């Protein structure tokens, strides 16, 4: 096995490495609200619900004193664990509690003999932006501002710091979730190749009813620094604060504030005419059609929006405007808040925005063409030629 992290059995929550003074930022209720709001924008149609993120984040600051630290302030040998949620947001039987997130980390520490020095989130999203905050408060280890990705993405391997390309790396992953009252509760510990372990976690989500809390892939801080989306948590907070400052100016002003922070733009403002959504294999897959006068926007999603195409009422095919990992976000024009692909409803007035991938903080998983091919297989849309030409 490649020595990307060190294991100390039965000492799961004891910080290791050399002693040094860390610049810590205490996470509070205001930061919860900002991170959840900005995270939902960077969710790009996925990344979990704002309601779940707010619940977990506020519980974290009530339970203890979660802290955010910079990865540069950690010894390179510090062991970081990714906190995540995996599943289909639209699944009607999904059942995920805050205690499941704690249990997932505990299971990884005990079953895998992993020492946990810090927690990182797998991505940015309404829930994902605060992944790890609750565990930080309960276990006394910091949240590290080095998400696996600075936007949300559909597959676990995309949010695994490029570890699938490291020869000899053995992934460890746990999954916890489901309603025990109906016989769906699942606890799982998997060890193996990253792809196989991620597939087992996805199946655990299906068996649990649609969603599981996950802890996975212990890795050294030195490796994470080179492959993570360093600073993306603070970007979530910055977007959320900018939007909150414009609440009194109206919904569109909030949307434009988010675009200004990210270097994005509003592509279409219109009414949702169609929503086609199917939950299969633990994912939400489908299309959304937004009509704005004679212009029509077509959004294809696999949890997150994979591409945005815009056309008129002519017979010419619509033109490609954005392709994952470009960020496409839908905003409710009644509230100014981002809405996920699972939440968009027919008749809703929305703004559709785009941010080019060059303006995003992206992790190593966004730079591998092999990880993009499943998008084409699932959605039937060409991706590689637009991203890796």
Torsion of CA 60, 90, 198, 366, to 10 degrees: -90
pLDDT at 15: 41
pLDDT at 313: 67
pLDDT at 4: 44
Inform me whether the pLDDT recorded for 254 exceeds 50.
yes
Phi and psi, residue 138, nearest 5°: -80, -35
Handedness of CA 45, 48, 50, 51 (dihedral sign): positive
118-162: pLDDT as tens digits: 999 999 999 999 999 999 999 999 999 999 999 999 999 999 999
CATH 3.40.640.10 fits domain 24-234: no
The residue among 316 and 100 whose pLDDT is bigger is 100
Domain boundaries, the chain: 24-234, 261-387
pLDDT at 368: 96
pLDDT at 364: 97
pTM of the model: 0.91
pLDDT at 5: 38
CA distance 345 to 359: 29
The H or E element containing residue 332 is strand 327-332
CA distance 167 to 344: 41
pLDDT at 117: 97
70-94: pLDDT as tens digits: 999 999 999 999 999 998 777 889 9
pLDDT at 314: 65
Of all residues in the chain, the percent with pLDDT exceeding 70 is 94
CA distance 233 to 144: 9
The H or E element containing residue 204 is helix 194-208
pLDDT at 91: 83
pLDDT at 88: 78
Mean per-residue pLDDT, 254-265: 98
Reduced DSSP (H G I as helix, E B as strand, rest coil) percent helix, strand, coil of the chain, to 5: 35, 30, 35
pLDDT at 90: 76
Question: Which two structure tokens, joined as six digits, stand for 371?
Answer: 């990880």
**Residue 389 pLDDT class (50, 70, 90 cuts):** confident
CA distance 145 to 229: 8
Q: Which of 326, 275, 324 is nearest to 298 (CA)?
A: 275
388: three-class secondary structure by DSSP: coil
Inform me whether the pLDDT recorded for 18 exceeds 70.
no
CA angle 101, 107, 109 (to 5 degrees): 110
CA distance 294 to 96: 42
Q: How many residues does the chain have?
A: 389
313-372: pLDDT as tens digits: 667 889 999 999 999 999 999 999 999 999 999 999 999 999 999 999 999 999 999 999
Torsion of CA 117, 73, 85, 238, to 10 degrees: 160
CA distance 106 to 89: 24
Architecture (CATH level 2) of domain 261-387: Beta Barrel (2.40)
213-230: pLDDT as tens digits: 999 999 999 999 999 999
Share the mean pLDDT of the chain. Answer: 92
Of all residues in the chain, the percent with pLDDT exceeding 90 is 88
pLDDT at 12: 36
């Amino acid at each position: 096995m490649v020595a990307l992290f060190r294991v100390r059995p039965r000492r799961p929550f004891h910080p290791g490495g050399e002693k040094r003074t860390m610049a810590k930022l205490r996470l509070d209720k205001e930061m919860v609200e900002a991170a959840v709001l900005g995270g939902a924008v960077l969710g790009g149609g996925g990344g979990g619900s704002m309601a779940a993120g707010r619940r977990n984040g506020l519980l974290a600051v009530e339970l203890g004193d979660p802290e955010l630290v910079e990865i540069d302030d950690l010894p390179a040998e510090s062991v970081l664990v990714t906190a995540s949620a995996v599943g289909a947001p639209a699944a009607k039987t999904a059942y995920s509690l805050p205690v499941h997130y704690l249990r997932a980390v505990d299971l990884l520490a005990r079953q895998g003999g992993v020492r946990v020095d810090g927690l990182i989130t797998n991505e940015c999203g309404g829930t994902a932006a605060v992944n790890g905050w609750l565990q930080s408060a309960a276990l006394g280890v910091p949240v590290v501002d080095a998400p696996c990705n600075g936007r949300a993405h559909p597959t676990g391997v995309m949010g695994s710091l490029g570890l699938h390309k490291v020869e000899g790396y053995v992934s460890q992953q746990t999954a916890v979730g489901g309603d025990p009252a109906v016989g769906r509760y699942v606890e799982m510990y998997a060890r193996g190749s990253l792809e196989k372990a991620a597939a087992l976690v996805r199946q655990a989500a299906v068996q649990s009813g649609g969603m599981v809390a996950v802890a996975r892939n212990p890795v050294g801080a030195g490796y994470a620094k080179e492959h993570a989306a360093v600073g993306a948590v603070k970007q979530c907070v910055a977007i959320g604060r900018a939007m909150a400052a414009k609440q009194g100016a109206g919904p569109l002003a909030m949307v434009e504030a988010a675009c200004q922070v990210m270097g994005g733009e509003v592509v279409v403002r219109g009414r949702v005419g169609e929503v086609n959504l199917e939950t299969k294999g633990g994912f939400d897959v489908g299309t959304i059609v937004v009509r704005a006068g004679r212009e029509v926007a077509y959004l294809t999603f696999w949890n997150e929006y994979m591409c945005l195409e815009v056309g008129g009422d002519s017979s010419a095919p619509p033109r490609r405007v954005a392709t994952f990992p470009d960020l496409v976000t839908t905003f409710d024009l009644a509230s100014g808040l981002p809405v996920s692909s699972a939440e968009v409803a027919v008749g809703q007035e929305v703004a559709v925005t785009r941010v080019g991938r060059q303006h995003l903080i992206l992790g190593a998983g966004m730079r591998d063409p092999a990880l993009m091919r499943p998008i084409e297989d699932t959605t039937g849309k060409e991706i590689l030629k637009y991203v890796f030409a």
